[in-house]
């Protein structure tokens, strides 16, 4: 089956729903047509002319970027409008553009979470929690001989796997409950029932399957249900749950296994960033650009992390008692505020602090069965 821009956008929506976006953000398909076929994807940080050239050279019909190409509507698409040059180039070359910005920052692919793993932080939580997934129970009734086929289809679409933040949630999948019973229905003229006869009340054995899924996967699970169920009109229930699903948010807060001087944390962090087994980077980057502020002897146990700009989260890090704030960038006065509150600072640079998300997103898309045969590359721009 051909892979479309719309399909890829829907897979990103499951990972980082547009409902999570800040009001000023502009995620989703920004240039191109949803039905356009895709054989290659280029993952990039920004929609700059060099990235468009790179996509064209690779034969990629889609750019998936972290930063939106535009935040405000364009007034025109003239060649003398600098803001229109990249959209015009994309259209001429037949390359679509999808952005996942503040949505991806809050997802499980966040660079902040990756850096927390690199530091082996414990007791972690989001620096700024923003919400939790809504959960739904799906109950469906099916002929017993079709139950296993239906269950597998729903599981492949996301039902019954990793729906909470429980400590073992990620190591279970295909979680369903099944009971047997009897269904009743009377097919009327014009019906083509799977079982039973038109005009007669049918009493047939049926299997009840139930499972739980996050709201972001609900439509996909229902599509799988309808596509696989043998009945003309499948009987199913969608039940909203009060249970809290997986949380999402910005940044990370946690503790080192033991207090260390800032100089040791720096050395350990840099060593971890270059460890091949972590797979943080698609390309080799210059880590010497990371700037450290604070005494080398400053004791560090509590660490706050925010990829990208850390200005909006610096005060939260200080209020939580962080000894070190690792971020992409801070302006001069926010940095002074951090240091005055006895919180050391590491500035990685905006690009470097978010580059692991590009690698993680590329790996995520390569792992999707729906994209088998689609080439996924990470841009070399920004190195």
The angle subtended at Cα 371 by Cα 106 and Cα 66, nearest 5°, is 30
User: Which residue would you say has higher pLDDT here, 166 or 344?
Assistant: 344
User: Which residue would you say has higher pLDDT here, 292 or 282?
Assistant: 292
Q: Considering the chain, what percentage of its residues have pLDDT values greater than 90?
A: 91
* pLDDT (average), residues 247-269: 97
244's CB contacts (< 8 A; 6+ apart) are: 132, 135, 164, 165
Contact 55, 31 (CB under 8 A): no
Give the per-residue pLDDT at 272: 93
* pLDDT (average), residues 99-118: 96
Q: Token pair 């169920």 is at which residue?
A: 229
Q: Is the pLDDT confidence value at 279 over 90?
A: no
Q: Is the pLDDT confidence value at 22 over 90?
A: yes
Contact 48, 88 (CB under 8 A): no
CA distance 373 to 110: 26
In 3D space, the residue among 282, 278, 274 whose CA is nearest the CA of residue 351 turns out to be: 282
156's CB contacts (< 8 A; 6+ apart) are: 224, 369
DSSP 46-67: ---HHHHHHHHHHT-SEEEESS
Q: Is the pLDDT confidence value at 377 over 70?
A: yes
Give the per-residue pLDDT at 68: 97
* pLDDT (average), residues 366-372: 93
Q: Is the pLDDT confidence value at 361 over 80?
A: yes
Residue 274's pLDDT band (boundaries 50, 70, 90)?
A: confident
Give the per-residue pLDDT at 282: 87
Residue 1's pLDDT band (boundaries 50, 70, 90)?
A: low
CA distance 279 to 7: 27
Which residues of the chain form CATH 3.40.1390.30? Answer: 5-105+357-378, 111-130+249-348
* pLDDT (average), residues 128-145: 96
Give the per-residue pLDDT at 167: 82
Q: Is the pLDDT confidence value at 276 over 80?
A: no
Give the per-residue pLDDT at 202: 96
In 3D space, the residue among 238, 229, 213 whose CA is nearest the CA of residue 147 turns out to be: 229
Rg (CA), the chain: 25
Which residues of the chain form CATH 3.30.70.120? Answer: 134-240
Give the per-residue pLDDT at 169: 86
The per-residue pLDDT for range 171-214, each reduced to its tens digit, is 999 999 999 999 999 999 999 999 999 999 999 999 999 999 99
* pLDDT (average), residues 378-383: 87
* pLDDT (average), residues 266-272: 95
In CATH, the number for domain 5-105+357-378 is 3.40.1390.30
CATH 3.40.1390.30 is the classification of domain 111-130+249-348: yes
Give the per-residue pLDDT at 277: 65
Mean of all residue pLDDT scores within the chain: 95
The per-residue pLDDT for range 290-309, each reduced to its tens digit, is 999 999 999 999 999 999 99
Q: Considering the chain, what percentage of its residues have pLDDT values greater than 70?
A: 99
Class of domain 134-240 (CATH, top level): alpha beta
Give the per-residue pLDDT at 383: 66
């Amino acid at each position: 089956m051909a892979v479309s821009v719309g399909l890829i956008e829907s897979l990103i929506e499951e990972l980082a729903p547009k409902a999570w976006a800040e009001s000023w953000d502009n995620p989703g398909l920004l240039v191109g047509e949803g039905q356009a076929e895709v054989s290659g994807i280029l993952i990039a940080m920004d929609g700059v002319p060099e990235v468009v050239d790179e996509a064209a050279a690779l034969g990629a019909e889609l750019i998936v970027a972290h930063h939106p190409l535009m935040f405000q509507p364009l007034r025109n698409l003239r060649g003398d409008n600098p803001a229109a040059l990249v959209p015009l180039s994309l259209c001429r070359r037949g390359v679509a553009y999808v952005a996942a910005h503040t949505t991806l920052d809050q997802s499980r692919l966040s660079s902040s979470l990756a850096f927390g793993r690199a530091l082996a932080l414990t007791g972690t939580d989001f620096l700024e929690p923003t919400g939790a997934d809504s959960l739904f129970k799906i109950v469906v009734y099916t002929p017993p001989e079709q139950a296993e086929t239906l269950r597998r289809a729903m599981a492949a679409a996301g039902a019954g796997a990793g729906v909470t933040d429980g400590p073992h949630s990620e190591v279970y999948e295909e979680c369903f409950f099944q009971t047997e019973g009897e269904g009743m229905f009377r097919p009327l003229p014009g019906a083509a029932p799977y079982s039973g006869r038109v005009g007669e009340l049918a009493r047939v054995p049926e299997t009840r399957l139930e499972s739980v899924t996050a709201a972001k996967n609900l439509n996909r699970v229902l599509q799988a249900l309808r596509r696989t169920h043998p009945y003309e009109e499948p009987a199913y229930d969608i039940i909203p749950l009060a249970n809290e699903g997986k949380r999402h948010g910005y940044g990370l807060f946690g503790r080192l296994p033991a207090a260390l001087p800032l100089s040791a944390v720096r050395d350990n962090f840099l060593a971890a960033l270059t460890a091949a087994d972590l797979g943080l980077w698609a390309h080799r980057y210059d880590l010497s650009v990371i700037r450290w502020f604070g005494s080398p002897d400053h004791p560090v146990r509590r660490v706050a992390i925010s990829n990208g700009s850390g200005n909006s989260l610096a005060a939260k890090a200080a209020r939580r008692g962080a000894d070190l704030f690792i971020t992409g960038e801070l302006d001069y006065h926010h940095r002074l505020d951090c240091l005055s509150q006895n919180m050391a600072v590491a500035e990685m640079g905006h690009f470097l602090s978010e580059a692991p998300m590009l690698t993680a997103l590329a790996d995520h898309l390569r792992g999707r069965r729906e994209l088998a045969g689609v080439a996924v590359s990470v841009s070399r721009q920004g190195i």
